[in-house]
């Protein structure tokens, strides 16, 4: 459902200034109000190749291993 609202010019200018690229005003207002969407809202928002996806997975695993090793070193003193 769509609703029209009236806002002052200065409020509109602030909305335009803070709006992210490709973000609707509705999404921006929800962001300002602190409403959280579902992680599923992001499904399909990235258009990456299988190779890029594998590289991201590899980097995440490397980071996980490094932080685990560092945490163990700290815990052992």
Q: Are residues 29 and 54 in the same domain?
A: no
What are the structure tokens assigned to 31, written together? 């962001």
Is residue 55 in a domain? yes
Q: Would you write out the chain's pLDDT as a tens digit for each of its 77 residues?
A: 889 999 999 999 999 999 999 999 999 988 888 877 788 887 878 788 999 999 999 999 999 999 998 888 888 97
Q: Tell whether 1 is covered by a domain.
A: yes
d(CA 66, CA 59): 11
Look at the chain and report how many structural domains it folds into: 2
pTM to 2 decimals? 0.41
Asked if residue 75 is part of any domain, the answer here is yes
For residue 8, give its domain range.
1-35
Q: Give the C-alpha separation, 64 to 68, whole Å.
A: 6
Q: How many CB atoms lie within 10 A of CB 14?
A: 13
């Amino acid at each position: 459902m769509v609703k029209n609202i009236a806002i002052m010019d200065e409020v509109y200018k602030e909305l335009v200034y803070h709006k992210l690229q490709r973000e609707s005003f509705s999404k921006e207002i929800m962001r300002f109000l602190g409403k959280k969407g579902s992680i599923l809202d992001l499904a399909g928002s990235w258009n990456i190749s299988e190779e890029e996806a594998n590289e991201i997975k590899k980097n995440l695993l490397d980071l996980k291993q490094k932080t685990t090793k560092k945490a163990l070193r700290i815990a052992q003193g």
